[in-house]
Amino acid sequence: MRQEGWPAAPREAQPPLNGWRSDASTRRGFGGVERRPRFSTRSMMTDSSAPMDIDSELLSSSLDGWVVPPHTAARRSRSRGRDRKGAVMTRPLVELVEQFCQYQLKQRGKTEGGVQTYRWNLEQFLLFGRARFGRVARLSDLIKAVIQDWMDEMAARDLTLGTIRSRQSTLSSFCAWLVKREVLPANPISGMDRPPHRIEPPKQVPTPALMDALIEAARKRQRPRDVAIFLILRFSGMRRESVATLQARHLDGLWGLRRVRVKGGKTRDIPLPEPVMRYLHAYVAQVLTPSVTTLTPETPLFWSVWGRRSIGKHRAPMTGKNIWRLCKLYGRMIGYPMLKPHDLRHGVAMEVLERRHDLEQVRALLGHARIDTTQIYTMIRPAQLKQAVSFYEEPARQMLESVRSEEESMFEEHSHVPRTRSLKLQ
């Protein structure tokens, strides 16, 4: 106890606990709101009265993680998708081409022949990439410079505009498919020049007599299958792939063919004359049924047989290529070796147009989606041009017959004139 009258002894200043400041300025902030005291190492170093022996457990529990960051690993210097992007761009195009073809066949419903054309066109670009870079074509090769070099290479090989346009269009569809799947950032062909699409009349249009001669040649050889094929081509104008894929279920009485698979994966109903349908039913009953074990609705109508004595015979459904070879064979027999199955399609279209004078009927028969495609048959052909000026025949004959004697004397006079040296133009 302190004695009365003596002043109170001054209280010794207590050092801050573990370096925490306890003054009012640090305990209260703006507006008198208390703040959490911050740890200061400077006060520990400058204050000689501060104890140097600090409890490590107490210090670690009172440290603020926001003030003193914890020990963490170094940050990444590159983005996470950088290596992944490089791996994608070096991906071979062969796998993507096969996926694209399966997409067209299974999801878009394209025909087998159309998908084979897509695969062939894309394989030409893959071969070009291998020849240029000496390696398998990659996704990084789908740039404008490489594609333009491919176009220049095809032009140097003197390919037709239609071939170049078809291959470029297929590659553009492939790039657009990659863009939709976020594999490619943009279509590199979208800003490139494309070969023009020139609308020209058919070069070879067989007459009705020539098409009838083709059927007659098959009848003389006594080949019922060939006669049936040429009857369908002659009176329907179908494409060879559609004829090759005909099945027994497509025959509909005496009307024609129902739900036939045509170009683009679509189905159409195609009428045929009643005599042709009777012949087709007789062919199925007398030729097709004995040659197959079981006749089902999915049985193909036309089969091809080939082989040798050493390996035996093989039998398989006909393809469009088989019909093309068949048409070339009979074309040589009738003196028209350049005949192709598509020429019969042109012949049917011109015959219907000349008899009916209705372009819409021709479009419906051929199955064109747009009337612009059918308008090529309205272009004047050389035979029509000759017929257009046929009224000049009689006036020209009368004029030349009246002066025939004078012409003979004129020709005789010029035949004895010696040749003179041509004058040089000054």
Per-residue pLDDT reduced to its tens digit, 282-295 = 999 999 999 888 89
CA distances from 238 to 9, 75, 231 (A): 122, 68, 11
| Backbone angles phi and psi of 308, in degrees to 5 | -130, 170
Q: What is the mean pLDDT of residues 308-325?
A: 85
Mean pLDDT over the full length of the chain: 81
Looking at 77-81, 275-279, 402-406, which range is the least confident one?
77-81
Interatomic CA distance for residues 48 and 61, integer angstroms: 24
Residues 6+ apart with CB under 8 A from 150: 125, 128
Structure tokens at 284: 């199925």
Q: Is the pLDDT of residue 47 over 60?
A: no
8 A C-beta contact, residue 346 and residue 211: no
Q: Cα separation of 15 and 214, whole Å?
A: 119
The span from the CA of 258 to the CA of 267, in Å, is 8
Write down the residue that tokens 């459904």 correspond to.
317
Residue 424, pLDDT > 50, answer no
Which pLDDT does position 224 carry in this prediction? 95
Tally Cβ neighbours within 10 Å of residue 223: 16
pLDDT attached to residue 19:
47
pLDDT at 261 over 60: yes
Cβ-contact 110, 261 below 8 angstroms = no
d(CA 21, CA 318): 97
Cα 224 → chain centroid: 38
Kindly state the average pLDDT of the residues 316-331: 94
* Structure confidence at residue 79 (pLDDT): 54
One-letter amino acid for residue 139 of the chain: L
Tell which residue, 181, 169, 166, 167, has the closest CA to residue 95.
Answer: 181
Confidence band, pLDDT 50/70/90 cuts, at residue 73 = low
If you ran DSSP here, which 8-state letter would residue 61 be given? H
Say which amino acid occupies 74.
A
Q: Residue 13: pLDDT band by 50, 70, 90 thresholds?
A: low
Paired tokens of 374: 């059918």
DSSP state of 357: -
Beta strands in 162-302 (DSSP E): 251-252, 256-261, 267-271
Query: What mean pLDDT do residues 306-322 have?
Result: 83
97-133 residue pLDDT tens: 999 999 999 999 888 888 999 999 999 999 999 999 9
Cα distances (angstroms) measured from residue 94 to each of 116, 130, 139, 410 = 15, 12, 10, 75
Q: What pLDDT is recorded for position 388?
A: 81
Most confidently modeled range among 155-159, 170-174, 194-198 = 170-174
Residue 46: its pLDDT value, please?
Answer: 46
Confidence bin at 411 (pLDDT 50/70/90):
low
Q: Quick one: average pLDDT of 12-32?
A: 49
Stated length of the chain: 426
pLDDT band at 306 (very low <50, low <70, confident <90, very high): confident
The predicted pLDDT at position 418 comes to 56
Backbone angles phi, psi at 207, to 5 degrees: -80, 165
Query: What CA–CA distances, in Å, run from 398 to 229, 387, 391, 392, 409?
Result: 50, 19, 12, 10, 19
pLDDT band at 307 (very low <50, low <70, confident <90, very high): confident
Tell me the CA distances in angstroms from 36 to 40, 55, 64, 67, one per residue in order. Answer: 13, 20, 10, 12
Whether 263 shows a pLDDT value over 90: the answer reads no
Residue 45 above 60 pLDDT?
no
Q: Is 263 exposed, middle or buried (0-12, 13-18, 19+ CB in 10 A)?
A: middle
What pLDDT is recorded for position 61?
Answer: 53
Name the least confident of 274-283, 335-344, 400-409. 400-409
Residue 91 pLDDT: 85
pLDDT digits (tens, 9 = 90+) for 146-166: 999 999 999 999 898 989 999
- Residue 41 is predicted with a pLDDT of 47
pLDDT in tens, 197-221: 877 888 889 999 999 999 999 999 9
| Residue 422 pLDDT | 47
Residues 263/367, Cβ–Cβ less than 8 Å: yes
- Res. 196 pLDDT band, cuts 50 70 90: confident
Cα separation of 27 and 47, whole Å?
19
